[in-house]
Structure 1
Amino acid sequence: MPGDRFGATRPAAPASGAAPLSGHPERVFITGAGSGIGAALARRYAARGAVLGLAGRRRDALQAVCDSLPGQGHRIYALDVRDRVALHVAAADFLAHGPVDRVIASAGISAGTLTDAPEDHAVFQTIFDTNVLAMVTTFEPFIASMRARGQGTLVGIGSVAGVRGLPGAGAYSASKAAVRAYCESLRVELRGSGVRVVTVAPGFIATPMTARNPYRMPFLMPVDRFAEQAVRAIDAGASYRVIPWPMAWVARLLRLVPDALYDRVAARRKRKPRMGEHS
């Protein structure tokens, strides 16, 4: 195992707090764990005694999150989730230290995109590779062991932005719509195996990703409060959960709005800045 990229930061030891029915300390693998939603979920799970595998691009950010967590045996994996080989190596290392109860694909990026701007094609690809294909890569190496045990939960972090297409956000909206459809397909494929698939769709959550948004963000929620509610939804095995709950009603209403009305209103909405643009 390449020690300069992967490794435990503390000796493994039994964790206190909540544990799954199998009796071992709860073990959770999280991508995008260096900041935002991923880091908040890490704090929430560590507070109840889980042992964590934390994956993300920046080793310094992962180390800072890890150092702030209670408990022992947490491992960090500095990698780009688009690197399938590196992600599978990290998953194999975490699995080698014990069965994994939950895998949370939280890594995601957002940027404004325009289809008629040729330079944005690479941004489209990066967003899809990170938000969709990396989720597939994250889940792949854990499914066989979860099937064998007859238990485990795979969690995809989507977004209410995937409910309807937003102007200037074609890549992000489409990627999050794909996340919902992919997780639904996987949920059906795994039905009866004991492996659950949960899709959590955040509304506006106070993270570095939303900090640059130049428009009003209704029901903006602190990230740690989001993590608390998300963990409850994951524990309940919810198939699909929008957080916060007022955004769930907004999402339902948006699906019912006729296209002609939606197009007229949405076209006036401020768009997310493209890469290099200022909000």
Structure 2
Amino acid sequence: MNSSLKVFITGASSGIGLALAGEYARRGAILGLVARRGDKLAEFAQRFPKTSISIYPADVRDADALADAASQFIAQHGMPDVVIANAGISKGVITGHGDLDAFREVMEVNYFGMVATFEPFAAQMRAARRGTLVGVASVAGVRGLPGSGAYSASKAAALKYLESLRVEMRPHGVAVVTIAPGYIRTPMTEHNPYPMPFLMDADRFAAKTADAIARKTRFAIFPWQMRIAALLLHILPRWIYDRTLEKAPRKPRAADAKNVSDAPE
């Protein structure tokens, strides 16, 4: 990879974001990393002393802070080649149990946070007729999963937003890549109390994702087995889906559960 490649990543302090930051650091990219936990970003930067890494402690729900981080990165390094909107959280929720705030928080981070991440860069990329915007969605956005209504809804919104954006940006020479992970071994998934088929290590996922981004793949699902699962979920008749999933294990309600991670990905 060309050492001049510039990559801006949100949610980079843990999970998928951290793995992506590590993958791009090993490939010699210039990095701009955003996360709420600035101490974790600083620890990561110390692991790669020869890599140009700029860190920006910020919450993706704060559009002004994101815009400021983008301005600082552009002033120091120029416009990024790749912007990855990765920050995300997951919370178990049940409608009718007072979880409205949890629904709102998940949507603000996973969907509005993605839009806010792209906002400071999109106009410049259009003017320059280059660049790649990458959104990390999820296979969970294909169908609504019981107990994960907030997460599934936020990822479904992200999938449709990225599709709209891809078509909008296409005439301007800007690529939009949608990455839809299946189960990836991260702090977000480690406490899930149910089987996670085809569970994939985060570093392996990050390597495959970076390759897909380099190819400007429009839509990619990893691990590959989940592509088949996603297709089957998409076409499964509603009555079969309902009967199959109604008794399936689900993520514990965040307000009740202990040790359930809502770490940003």
Q: What TM-score do the two structures reach when normalised by structure 1?
A: 0.90
Structure 2 counterpart of 1:138, from 117, 130, 147 = 117
Q: Does 1:247 align with 2:226?
A: yes
Structure 2 counterpart of 1:162, from 119, 135, 141 = 141
Instruction: Kindly provide the CA deviation profile for residues 138-160 of structure 1, in whole angstroms up to 9, marking residues without a partner as x.
Output: 00011122122211000000000
User: For structure 2, which runs of at least 5 residues remain unmatched after alignment?
Assistant: 261-265
The question of whether the paired residues in 2 share the 8 Å contact of 1:47 and 1:70 is answered with no
SS of the equivalent of 1:34 reads: coil
How far 1:71 moved relative to its partner?
3.1
Instruction: Kindly provide the CA deviation profile for residues 49-68 of structure 1, in whole angstroms up to 9, marking residues without a partner as x.
Output: 10100000011111111111
CA distance in 1: counterparts of 2:138 and 2:237, whole angstroms: 21
How far 1:70 moved relative to its partner?
5.3
Name the structure 1 match of 2:17: 38
SS of the equivalent of 1:154 reads: strand
Percent identity (aligned): 53
Structure 2 counterpart of 1:106, from 72, 80, 86 = 86
SS of the equivalent of 2:91 reads: coil
User: For structure 1, which runs of at least 5 residues remain unmatched after alignment?
Assistant: 1-17
The question of whether the paired residues in 2 share the 8 Å contact of 1:29 and 1:103 is answered with yes
Structural mapping, 1:43-62, within 5 Å: 43-62=22-41
Name the structure 2 match of 1:6: none
What amino acid is the match of 1:210? T
SS of the equivalent of 2:171 reads: coil
Q: Does 1:231 align with 2:205?
A: no
Q: Does 1:129 align with 2:129?
A: no
What amino acid is the match of 2:16? I
The question of whether the paired residues in 1 share the 8 Å contact of 2:34 and 2:56 is answered with yes
What amino acid is the match of 2:88? G
How far 1:257 moved relative to its partner?
0.8
The question of whether the paired residues in 2 share the 8 Å contact of 1:109 and 1:209 is answered with yes
| 4+ runs deviating over 2 angstroms | 69-73
Name the structure 2 match of 1:26: 5
Structure 2 counterpart of 1:263, from 242, 245, 255 = 242
The question of whether the paired residues in 2 share the 8 Å contact of 1:139 and 1:154 is answered with yes
Task: Give the superposed CA RMSD.
Answer: 1.1
Structure possessing the higher relative contact order (Cα contacts under 8 Å, 6 or more residues apart) = 2
- Give the total of aligned pairs: 257
